Amino acid sequence: MERIGIIDVGSNSIRLIIIDVKDNRAHHQIENLKETVRLRSGTDPQGSLTERGMEYAIETVSLFVKLCQVRKVNTIRAVATAAVRRAPNGAEFVARIEQRCGIKVEILSGDQEAYMGYLGLVNSITRTDGLMADLGGGALKLVQFADRLRQNSITLDFGAVSLMEQFNLHDRPAPEDLARLEAFLDESYAAVPWLKDQPYLIGVGGTFRSLARIYRNHVNYVPDLTDGIIIPTESVGEIYNMLKGMDLAQRRQVPGLERARADLSVTGIGIIYKLLQATGSPVLEVSASSIRDGLFFAHVYSRDPIVFNVLTHHTQNLIDYHQLDENHLRRVANLAVTLFDQLQPLHGLGSWERRLLLVAGLLHELGVVISVESLEKHTLYTVLNSALKGLNHRERVIIAYLAASHDQLFTVNLQQYVTNGPVEPGDIERLEKLAPLLQIAHSLDRSRTGAVTHVRTRLDGDLCEILVFGNQSRDLEIRDATRSADAFQDKFGVKLVVTQATGS
């Protein structure tokens, strides 16, 4: 097993992530640390990094390196971005880091930084077309992609820290300073001709995540997830207008707004709001991916760092990393979708629901990584909170509840996801229809031996018969599947009989 540490020396903060990578390349993040350093603020009139700023940054990197040593990290990859890239003494700074900390820091070009952000993003979302905006303290990276491939890319030489200082927006903004900021942004975006043709914006970086937390608190949104949240453009405008009317002390009290980012919030969210207006996007999607994710994929999957299918990759990664019983999970998932296909006239659901059932079947025992006791609630929690990419929030919540229902229907607190979240009222009915199929499928591999090879169903009036085929005794499986008969009849109005079949 390899343990990788990635240190990102940014304009606003220095970050460290540590990732375990098994021999089969299954991976899991075990550390995620940040220190706000504000290297971009620590520059003199000539743009050079100040001694004080460099010392603080070097001390932070040194602490991160020591933590990597304690955690027995095998490989450290360290990069620096806009603040160091632009500073006349940037090379001197990274040389001092190497001398003091024993690691080499690579100064990324604007294009390299944008590419790593894009790489992390396309390996985290199912959307194949869109515009990525990666906002840092000293630069805004814009990458337009289609069919998951990068088409247009540009790095704009401003960020949340640099514009906050340029337009004096640290405390309560003066109207004339805000007007100058907004005019500057309008002019900057208008100079990028392909921006106006990008109707879907995906935001990456700390300012976007901060905006998402404010929005979640503002509307009491559940689930408590930043990654993948969808925010209407008008809501971004409302938050921007709210914050720009406050002084710094008031902004520090805003629920969801990190105190260390309170001074940047007006500038950063102003940059986002004006970009949304420039693109005409009706919504903003926030991603928790970063250039650190891109650096990771480039390191581990160096030959072809773009994964073939995002959801498949991350689902398989969870199974492999936690050493779940993959043969059992795949048998259950396959039996579940077979029942789904054969009983389509009974449930009337389509391909979208079939996909949810398949993924739930693969993840229905993920909760064992916490405990087999109270497995339902642990499965719900782990599916909602694991690094499971490639699902929107609605899909994730439905799959989490469905996976938690593999023995009996589990709906604890589900209504709150309808009232304050992405779940639609009709999704409860979908869950109630899908859960019996997963429960029967789970029962049909109760012994985990593959005793049941396939099934065939017969619908005849008010009777549904499931014929169970296999090459060994299926008594345990049939007896267990029969326990679902009452719930099946309650939902579908037909009597369920599970029968051992002979022949093929």
pLDDT, residue 302, reads: 87
Query: What is the pLDDT confidence band of residue 348, given thresholds at 50, 70 and 90?
Result: very high
Residues 80-107: what's their mean pLDDT? Answer: 96
pLDDT at 283 over 70: yes
Q: Phi/psi at 289 (nearest 5 deg)?
A: -75, 170
Whether residue 367 sits in one domain with residue 319 = yes
Whether residue 273 sits in one domain with residue 204 = yes
Residue entry with tokens 């006791």 = 373
pLDDT at 504 over 60: no
Give 263's strand partners. none
DSSP-based three-state secondary structure for 374? coil
* 298 located within any domain: no
**Are 376 and 407 spatial neighbours (Cβ–Cβ below 8 Å)?**
yes
Mean pLDDT, the chain, integer? 95
pLDDT tens for each residue of 238-279: 999 999 999 999 999 999 999 999 999 999 999 999 999 999
Whether residue 103 sits in one domain with residue 120 = no
Residues 206-234: what's their mean pLDDT? Answer: 96
Query: What is the pLDDT confidence band of residue 69, given thresholds at 50, 70 and 90?
Result: very high
Domain holding 36, by residue range, is 2-108
**Are 175 and 168 spatial neighbours (Cβ–Cβ below 8 Å)?**
no
Q: Which amino acid is at 382?
A: T
Could you tell me what percent of the chain has a pLDDT over 90? 94
* 198 located within any domain: yes
Last-in-domain residue among 230, 259, 292: 292
Last-in-domain residue among 448, 472, 491: 448
* 483 located within any domain: no
**Are 215 and 221 spatial neighbours (Cβ–Cβ below 8 Å)?**
yes
Residues 15-25: what's their mean pLDDT? Answer: 96
Q: Work out how many domains the chain is built from and give that number.
A: 3
pLDDT, residue 42, reads: 65
pLDDT at 324 over 90: yes
Whether residue 141 sits in one domain with residue 103 = no
Query: What is the pLDDT confidence band of residue 46, given thresholds at 50, 70 and 90?
Result: confident
Rounded Cα distance, 112 and 190, in Å: 24
Q: State the CATH number of the domain containing residue 61.
A: 3.30.420.40
pLDDT at 307 over 70: yes
Residues 21-49: what's their mean pLDDT? Answer: 89
Query: What is the pLDDT confidence band of residue 45, given thresholds at 50, 70 and 90?
Result: confident
Rounded Cα distance, 1 and 22, in Å: 4
* 183 located within any domain: yes
Rounded Cα distance, 504 and 502, in Å: 7
Rounded Cα distance, 361 and 358, in Å: 5
Residues 125-133: what's their mean pLDDT? Answer: 95
Whether residue 136 sits in one domain with residue 56 = no
Within 10 angstroms of residue 483's Cβ, the number of other Cβ atoms is 15
Whether residue 124 sits in one domain with residue 270 = yes
Which helix H or strand E contains 287, and what residues bound it?
strand 283-287
Give 130's strand partners. 145
Whether residue 126 sits in one domain with residue 249 = yes
Residue entry with tokens 């008008």 = 234
Residue entry with tokens 């294009």 = 111
Query: What is the pLDDT confidence band of residue 159, given thresholds at 50, 70 and 90?
Result: very high
The arrangement of strands across the sheet holding 495-500 comes to 454-460, 463-469, 495-500
* 375 located within any domain: yes
pLDDT, residue 150, reads: 95
Rounded Cα distance, 30 and 49, in Å: 32
Query: What is the pLDDT confidence band of residue 503, given thresholds at 50, 70 and 90?
Result: low
pLDDT at 44 over 90: no
Query: What is the pLDDT confidence band of residue 197, given thresholds at 50, 70 and 90?
Result: confident
pLDDT tens for each residue of 424-458: 999 999 999 999 999 999 999 999 999 999 999 99
pLDDT, residue 71, reads: 97
Rounded Cα distance, 168 and 165, in Å: 5
Q: State the CATH number of the domain containing residue 126.
A: 3.30.420.150
